[in-house]
Amino acid sequence: DYSEEQIDDMERMIRQSPSKWAYWKLKDPKGNPWKARWYQSEMIEGIMQGDRRIAARMGRRVGKTETMVVYCLWHAFHHRNTRLLIIAPYENQVRLIFMRLMELVADSDELRDCVKITKNPFIAEFGNGAKIMGFTGGANAGAQAGASVRGQRADFIFIDEIDYMSEEGIDAVTAIANEDPKNIGIWVSSTPTGKRSFFYKVCTDPNTGYKAYHYPSTVNPNFDDKMEGELRATMTAQGYIHEVEAEFGEETVGVFNKGAVERAMKEYNYSY
């Protein structure tokens, strides 16, 4: 038997770990305790150790959005009056994220009675004053790109499928962190499109300050020959490189070969 003091100490220890708390308080889609896969724990642990810029390049069916949502729930529940922003290019993507958030809350005895969720606007409000808010960032350039999120306050910003978002939208969202860049976190994730833009830079250049993670679909413990065959049969060769291998490869839309362009940009000694 454990004393009340020992039980309290164990609970405090569990609550300090998002992965352990999720196993204790959340359920997976099959109704089992939510168990983080090794790579999900790796990303979460990076934040817990102080990383404030995360760039996750992940393949299809790996669980990138799930990881983000679970961390958001842990953070909001354990930090009073915190403000977490979730941004995606399109409204239907934000809607799906909040649908999963609602499922996790509904299946949790700890969260069910203390979280109020609305879908217009997308807000999950916690009893401790914390809020998770969803916005569209815009996939196309223009005056409206990122307009919905301008002027918002945030303690942590989460951008899903960022490689499908316009540069203007990304600029509008990441500018929020300029208020306190050392403390306001930014977590970006996506399957790559091949564009050599913001996501490519933060995934390949350590000087941007982002901790880069790369997980192809093969890290999924359920990935097998059958799944590989199905994906190859339904995708182009370039699509497989982007969506499954999570490599940048070539841009799905463009005129020039990106590899050739990058080689041409290198400095050469043009002496004849």
8 A C-beta contact, residue 173 and residue 159? yes
Query: Partners of 135 in the beta sheet?
Result: 87
What confidence tier does 267 reach under pLDDT thresholds 50, 70, 90? low
- DSSP H or E segment with residue 122: strand 122-126
Residue 18 CB neighbours (<10 A): 25
8 A C-beta contact, residue 191 and residue 58? yes
Global pTM reads 0.87
- Average pLDDT over the chain, rounded to an integer: 90
What confidence tier does 122 reach under pLDDT thresholds 50, 70, 90? very high
Cα Rg, the chain, nearest whole Å? 20
Output the CA torsion sign for 130, 134, 135, 139. Answer: positive
Render pLDDT for 236-261 as a digit per residue (tens, 0 to 9): 999 999 999 999 988 755 444 555 55
Q: Backbone dihedral region of 254: left (phi > 0), alpha (psi from -120 to 50 degrees) or beta?
A: left
Q: Are strands 185-190 and 53-58 parallel, antiparallel or unpaired?
A: parallel
What confidence tier does 2 reach under pLDDT thresholds 50, 70, 90? confident
As a whole-number percent, the residues of the chain with pLDDT over 70 amount to: 90
Render pLDDT for 171-213 as a digit per residue (tens, 0 to 9): 999 999 998 999 999 999 999 999 999 999 999 999 999 999 9
Rounded to whole angstroms, the Cα distance separating 197 from 3 reads: 56
Q: Backbone dihedral region of 31: left (phi > 0), alpha (psi from -120 to 50 degrees) or beta?
A: left
